[in-house]
Chains A and B, each alone.
Chain A
Amino acid sequence: MAEHLLELRDLSVRFHTARGPVQAVQGVSWHLDRGETLAILGESGSGKSVSASAIMNLIDCPPGEITSGQILFEGRDLLTLGAEARRDINGRRIAMIFQDPLSHLNPVYPVGRQIAETATAHGTPAAQARGRARELIARVGLPDPDAAMRKYPHQFSGGQRQRLMIAMALALKPDILIADEPTTALDVTVQAEVLSLLEELQRETGMGLLLITHDLGVVAEIADRAVVMEGGRIVETGTPHDLYHNATHPYTRKLISAAPGRGEMRADRSPVTPLLSCRGLRKEYGGFAALKGAEFDVMPGECLAVVGESGSGKSTVARLVVRLEEASAGQALWKGEDLLTKTPREMAAVRRQLQMVFQDPTQSLNPRMSVYEIISEAWAIHREVLPKSRWRARVQELLEQVGLKPEHADRYPHQFSGGQRQRIAIARALALEPELIICDEAVSALDVSIQAQVIQLLGRLRDELGIAFVFIAHDLPVVRDFADRVLVMQQGEIVEQGSVRQIFDAPREPYTQRLLAAGLDPDPEVQARRRAERLALQA
């Protein structure tokens, strides 16, 4: 048997928690060769990051415990080495980058120093290390490396910070780079850039790349091979092509079918009287215009998707319409009446018909109220809707409607998973039988398979109850199967709006085209085509 660069054999890791031991990883084996990209694919709780932490000796013992297995690096078992030997390998032979680079960079030191530290920690003289850091900052594509050296992490954008993390990891030309969800928090266009940077650097140095991700699209874009993990075990291994087309395990199939943007797009609808029409909606903070005059309509029973990257002003639109913030100018006509000029009392009456679901269900549910209290609060505010004697029955009805159990009514939000919490938030929005629900990134924080379920639920509610939706998202594929019309925003402006078919099949604006091309498709063949388009757009 040929020796691999890195090989895991039968690795099991257990965590001792207050609730008893939890088997995070069980009997995991895989290998990585030089110049190869291996993806570990899994959702939260699958144990996909644990093996990487074990390789880097980042598992705290206790509470963690490696119960069995070997980690062979160039044939040596890392688990038998002492702490100093492990430390010497970290950063020099095997390096790692993380999701959320802002919290993974030390906020109080200039980035130049932090990049140089990788080299100095392994004995490189300080002056030489600084020179190398400067070189690397230039290599990962940041403008003005000398100035960047002296800047602090908070002075960079998300994408730039991830480039800096990459520079830090590559300071000593490691043999292996482990990337843990490196692009998850980034905008789609930035994600594509960071992934291609990783690919380029891999070609240059011939390192092995271990990529941990939840995104089939990332796998299709960059991986040579992938392992799929669920509940701490590997359920399937193969090339992206094999996995996509010939998946045998039901979990892999479920993941593939949950990937957004696969289904039938909805047919165009004939125009009717709009429920909500916004005219010249503007919002300025100080001198900065976050929203520069948005104009759009929402028809009864229709889903309008608002798509844009961070800073596009898409959430501002929602917050202005529901009067969480006051608009600087413009009108938001609800059935012909301007919402923006209403007094708080007049507004309260309208709020019944206009509900909102927020991005993070963990934060949008009051942690000190039970589910029953959270949902019934709507009727405590709008007393005319439902007599108190019927509250409990109705809460149970609503919980069933969103796919939860009636007995969940007396539990508290922290006892539910993220997907369940979002269902509670939706049940709360439904309590007042609104005509329009604004979903602000309502599925962005959820795992792919949960995301698909929630979108399915929203679609059902639209079809059964005739509720209209404004669905705000940063990701185009997510809205493809669900939206009737799509509105693309960039830097406070609506750059394009049209029916879902128009936007996806025949985008007119270059920005929409770029956004579509930057999105990653789980099908490796489709993704290869898209990549060619993207490169063509760049050229």
Chain B
Amino acid sequence: MSDTTTVPATPEPAAMRERPALLRLGSMLWADKFAFAAALLLLAMIGCALVGPWLMGDAAGGQNLRARNAPPFDLSRGWLYVLGGDALGRPLLARIVVAAQNTLLIAAGAVVFSMAIGTTLGLIAGYRGGWTGEVIMRTADVIMSFPSLLLAVIVLYMLAPSVANLILVLAITRIPIYLRTTRAEVLEVRERMFVQAALVMGASTPRIVFRHILPVILPTLLTIATLDFAFVMLAESALSFLGIGIQAPEITWGLMVSQGRQYLTSAWWLAFWPGLAIILTTMSLNLLSGWMRVALDPTQRWRLEIGGKRNG
């Protein structure tokens, strides 16, 4: 439609502006009920990760031969067994809560490291370009096609299969995602008029990069990071599942699925519940990432600020 049919962007009510940032974010989250539920669920998961091992660590390790492969929804053994018991009679609920720590820690660690390194290299490759940029991009290509399984096995043999090393493996494999996105965005943003305006004013390179380019691409990166968090979780579970990730007695949800696999026909719940925990978390992250795309963009934000009405 031509200019007349689009609604002129009238300034938002002043009251909306004055509210503290956190409260504003909160009300924008409330406006998208799915994202709100997703955020609640993720908060609960993070809560489990923080205090879970402290609360239920003993219960998760306590073997009880009479509760071996105990079926779910049977409260006779106590509420901890509501999701059933595993092959050694340990309560599944407690184990899932405790495993949340490793699972989320590995994913968060990998995302933070890969994002920090990838973004830095991407900024250099995009803004400096030239020979340095070319080397960075080719390195990214090599990393991208390096089989992550081989990397995992190498680390497993060379170093120990610890949480920290798993973070290292996963972080390396995810660097190219941030690197490529950042570079592509920088190439686009550096041509924008406001960057040129800053250049004309005499802004230094650090100022251009950190004041003008990074804040503009950060929402994109955060959105990707949220999505990638889900991806890394899946990758970690897959590695643990294949036996080249975390090793018992440490636990993650992926490893629990793998351990439950041999009892599939007799006790499906061993693999089902941890898998459900993974699916719910990744889905929440996907939902939240979609919300962030809107909420972090000042020109889109109003869609959430005017309240629940969805506008396509």
Contacts and interface: CB of A to CB of B under 8 A. Distances in A.
**A contacts B directly in the complex (CB < 8 Å)?**
yes
Interface of A: 15, 17-19, 22, 24, 42, 44-50, 53, 58-59, 64, 98-99, 180-181, 322, 324, 347-349, 351-352, 354-356, 358-360, 363-369, 377-378, 380-382, 410-412, 414-417, 425, 428, 432
A1 B12 CA distance: 48
B202 A53 contact: no
Contacts of B9: 414-415, 417
A19 B298 contact: no
B197 A367 contact: no
Given A53-B5, A59-B5, A99-B2, A378 B298 contact: no
Given A322-B200, A358-B197, A368-B215, A416 B2 contact: no
B146 interface: no
Contacts of A363: 192-194
Contacts of B212: 366
Interface in B180-235: 192-194, 196-204, 207, 211-212, 215-216
A501 B95 CA distance: 88
B211 A377 contact: yes
B298 A412 contact: yes
A401 B32 CA distance: 42
A232 to B, nearest CB: 9
A235 to B, nearest CB: 15
Nearest to A359: B193
Query: Which 7 residue pairs across A and B have the least CB separation, nearest first?
Result: A351-B202, A363-B193, A364-B193, A348-B202, A44-B3, A366-B194, A49-B2
B298 A414 contact: yes
DSSP majority for the A interface?
Answer: loop
A368 B195 CA distance: 12
Given A381-B204, A428-B197, A415 B12 contact: yes
A46 B4 contact: yes
A411 B200 contact: no
Nearest to A361: B193
Given A348-B202, A415-B12, A15 B2 contact: no
B296 to A, nearest CB: 9
A47 B194 CA distance: 31
B292 to A, nearest CB: 15
Interface of B: 1-5, 7-12, 17, 192-194, 196-204, 207, 211-212, 215-216, 298-299, 302-303, 306, 309, 311
B306 A351 contact: no
Contacts of B196: 324, 358, 364
Contact of A366 (B8, B12, B216, B303): B216
Contacts of A381: 201-204, 207
B298 A368 contact: yes
Contacts of A415: 9, 11-12
Contact of A358 (B4, B193, B207, B303): B193
B197 A364 contact: yes
Contacts of A19: 7, 10, 302, 306
8 contacts: A18-B311, A50-B4, A358-B193, A363-B194, A369-B215, A411-B11, A414-B298, A417-B8
A432 B198 CA distance: 13
B4 A45 contact: yes
A351 B200 contact: yes
A354 B199 CA distance: 12
B310 to A, nearest CB: 9
Interface centre among B5, B8, B10, B306 (most CB of A within 10 A): B5
B207 to A, nearest CB: 7
A411 B207 contact: no
Contact of A98 (B2, B12, B193, B306): B2
Contacts of B303: 18
Contacts of A58: 1
A356 B197 contact: yes
B281 to A, nearest CB: 30
A417 B10 CA distance: 8
Nearest to B309: A18
A18 B9 CA distance: 11
A416 to B, nearest CB: 7
Contacts of B198: 366, 377
B17 A410 contact: yes
B3 to A, nearest CB: 4
Given A347-B202, A363-B193, A18 B5 contact: no
A366 B211 CA distance: 10
Contacts of A48: 4
Contacts of A50: 4-5
B7 A22 contact: yes
Nearest to B8: A45
A442 to B, nearest CB: 12
A520 to B, nearest CB: 20
B76 to A, nearest CB: 54
A356 B201 CA distance: 8
A501 B311 CA distance: 54
A49 B311 contact: no
Contacts of B216: 366-368
B17 to A, nearest CB: 7
Contacts of A180: 2
Interface centre among B10, B192, B193 (most CB of A within 10 A): B193
A274 B2 CA distance: 45
Contact of A365 (B194, B200, B309): B194
Contacts of A17: 7, 311
Nearest to B199: A324
Contact of B3 (A49, A354, A411, A416): A49
A208 B281 CA distance: 62
Contacts of B302: 18-19
Nearest to B12: A415
Nearest to B3: A44
Nearest to A349: B202
B293 to A, nearest CB: 15
A415 B299 CA distance: 9
A38 B192 CA distance: 40
Given A15-B5, A17-B311, A180-B2, A364 B17 contact: no
A53 B236 CA distance: 54
A18 B306 contact: yes
Contacts of B204: 348, 381
Nearest to B194: A366
A339 B2 CA distance: 43
Interface centre among B199, B201, B298 (most CB of A within 10 A): B201
A322 B303 CA distance: 39
B20 to A, nearest CB: 14
A417 B299 CA distance: 13
Nearest to A364: B193
A322 B199 CA distance: 9
Contacts of B192: 363
B299 A414 contact: yes
Contacts of B7: 15, 17, 19, 22
Nearest to B192: A363
B194 A49 contact: no
A53 B11 contact: no
Contacts of B298: 367-368, 412, 414
Contacts of B309: 18
Nearest to A318: B200
B254 to A, nearest CB: 38
A366 B1 CA distance: 26
Contacts of A414: 9, 298-299
